């Protein structure tokens, strides 16, 4: 497993960061015309069609039956739950603040490593987790209207941060048996199927939405979904998940800038302070905050 970046892997990471950062503003733009569930279905319906066309042209092999449960679980975590919860959360939370909460994801990866992989956290690691949660709490308060008020939508985005960590853990073994394009295609297809519950309402919303609102969702499907997930899978197949996830710390900076240009939105000052605190905590966790598996 590589720990140094080659040019192709670095390019894949850069493409992923820019496209995923743009998704927070794109979701806000799409929510002006679509409901959260309908937006998720349209976005990943577009991504599924794009990947399906390529699969048909290349006669992509089908996944092994033994891998279907893990693929379905990865799709549920990384596509269905993550994006539906994020969309609902962004109804009340700014795009920049949402990206700051998602940046706490590596903390949950560290906690899952303790539970499922037998790793141990040092005092620095536990301190980092406490600091990160304090930062997320500040964001939750800072996104309330009219001053410091609790914003429930932030908890849905926090759920997205938790399940994206689970997605990384579940996905890693599959990438030893499937090429990144195959894996991305299967996971997006499996994650899109549960969203079909919103198909009837989506068909009613499409004619009422503006061209720009629909275009924003199509953009989300082609670029932050299909292309970015493919690029991330490529990088994940070549680097340790914990090391790769550290690059996500750069995403909030890009997301806030893109949200300001695209939808003229910035998070509150309290949310920005909370985001900075959360990222400090994540940095502590990843800076020698974990030990190897405990002996048994």
Supply the pTM of this predicted model: 0.82
pLDDT in tens, 14-36: 999 899 999 999 999 999 999 99
Residue-averaged pLDDT of the chain: 84
pLDDT in the model for residue 152? 80
Q: How far is Cα 274 from Cα 288, in angstroms, rounded to an integer?
A: 23
pLDDT-derived band at 295, boundaries 50, 70, 90: very low
pLDDT in tens, 125-169: 778 778 877 877 777 676 655 555 567 888 899 899 899 888 888
Q: How far is Cα 53 from Cα 283, in angstroms, rounded to an integer?
A: 41
pLDDT in tens, 211-228: 999 999 999 999 999 999
The 3-class SS string of 12-36 reads HHHHHHHHHHHHHHHHHHHCCCCCH
Q: How far is Cα 94 from Cα 90, in angstroms, rounded to an integer?
A: 6
pLDDT in the model for residue 102? 85
DSSP 151: -
Q: What are the helix and strand counts (H, E) for the chain?
A: 15, 2
Among 14-18, 200-204, 258-262, name the most confident range: 200-204
Q: Is the pLDDT of residue 292 over 50?
A: no
């Amino acid at each position: 497993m590589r720990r140094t970046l080659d040019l192709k892997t670095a390019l894949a990471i850069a493409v992923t960061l820019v496209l995923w950062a743009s998704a927070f503003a794109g979701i806000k733009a799409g929510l002006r015309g679509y409901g959260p569930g309908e937006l998720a279905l349209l976005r990943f319906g577009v991504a599924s069609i794009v990947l399906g066309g390529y699969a048909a042209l290349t006669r992509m092999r089908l996944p092994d039956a033994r891998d279907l449960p893990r693929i379905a679980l990865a799709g549920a975590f990384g596509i269905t739950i993550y994006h539906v919860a994020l969309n609902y959360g962004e109804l009340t939370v700014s795009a920049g603040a949402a990206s700051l909460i998602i940046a706490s994801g590596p903390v949950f990866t560290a906690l899952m490593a303790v539970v499922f992989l037998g790793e141990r956290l040092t005092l620095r690691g536990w301190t980092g987790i406490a600091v990160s949660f304090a930062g997320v709490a500040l964001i939750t308060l800072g996104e309330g209207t009219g001053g410091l008020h609790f914003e429930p939508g932030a908890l849905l985005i926090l759920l997205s941060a938790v399940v994206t960590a689970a997605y990384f853990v579940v996905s890693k073994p599959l990438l030893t048996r499937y090429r990144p394009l195959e894996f991305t295609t299967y996971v997006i297809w499996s994650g899109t199927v549960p969203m079909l519950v919103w198909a009837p309402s989506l068909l009613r919303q499409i004619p009422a939405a503006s061209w720009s609102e629909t275009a924003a969702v199509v953009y989300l499907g082609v670029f932050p979904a299909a292309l970015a997930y493919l690029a991330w899978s490529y990088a994940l197949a070549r680097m340790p998940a914990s090391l790769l996830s550290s690059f996500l710390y750069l995403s909030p900076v890009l997301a806030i800038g893109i949200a300001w240009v695209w939808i003229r939105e910035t998070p509150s000052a309290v949310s920005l302070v909370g985001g900075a605190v959360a990222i400090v905590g994540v940095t502590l966790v990843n800076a020698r905050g974990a030990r190897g598996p405990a002996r048994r």
